[in-house]
Amino acid sequence: MTIVGLVAGHEGRSLVLLRAYVDAVLAAGGTPVVLPAAFGPGDDRLDRALAPVEALLLTGGGDIAPARYGAPTTTTLDHVDPVRDDVELRALRWAERSGIRALGICRGAQLMAVAHGGSLIQDLPAAGFDAHVDVRHDRGYATLRHGVKAEPDSLTEAVLGGLDEVNTHHHQAVHSPGQGLTATAWSTDGVIEAIEGPGLLGVQWHPETLFAADPRHLRPFQWLVDGEQGLRT
């Protein structure tokens, strides 16, 4: 079974990774391996930890530091974790050098864009996009919905499996995908919902919270574990 690496970030004195991501990898037939965001710059133990990894999952979480994409901070940021930023950027570059697949979800998709020289919208409501975040915080995690449209014949269209609506729980999004990545799906109000490149897929929604109710949401993880073959099963 494909070994899938996931990075656990920090929250206070704890390392944190939502169980739903692990469950999705297991349901897709992969073997999840958790990597702690505890390797400092230049620590080659990260490369040794990554050595057995055959696919990389970049999960959701707090905001990426704007300095990573050369922008000033223009809004209140949520749970910025510089060590996690560094570890995940290094892990993604390792994955690309190694030719293994990488899937980014929410923050993970944004990190892919940043790694390729792209940029982010730091606050969607402030930019006029109100449908992507529950400002009342009373509807549960990732329960809001909006329409989505994928580029025909794209990997994103294949992993959507005919879905035309996805969930949402984010106040930031990709503004520019960066070099080597292409936007391949958009929400009904024009926010980028997916980016992709060779061996790379980033989605802004949260399929890990939905696959138990609708197995089509497992398709991004099936692609991660088994490539194109995973989309034919």
C-alpha distances (whole Å) from 232 to each of 104, 159, 222 are 21, 10, 9
Asked if 226 contacts 216 with a C-beta cutoff of 8 angstroms, the reply is no
Which of 106, 116, 132, 170 is labelled catalytic? 106
Reply yes or no on whether 54 is catalytic.
Answer: no
Which of 10, 132, 206, 217 is labelled catalytic? 206
Secondary structure letter of residue 162 according to DSSP: T
Distance of CA 176 to the CA centre of its chain: 15
Q: In angstroms, what is the C-alpha Rg of the chain?
A: 16
Burial class (CB in 10 A: 0-12, 13-18, 19+), 80: middle
Burial class (CB in 10 A: 0-12, 13-18, 19+), 75: middle
Reply yes or no on whether 196 is catalytic.
Answer: no
Which of 10, 193, 208, 217 is labelled catalytic? 208
Go through the chain and tell me how many residues it has. Answer: 233
Reply yes or no on whether 106 is catalytic.
Answer: yes
> Which ranges of the chain does DSSP label H, i.e. alpha helix?
19-27, 45-50, 82-98, 107-115, 155-160, 219-226
Catalogue the active-site residues: 106, 206, 208
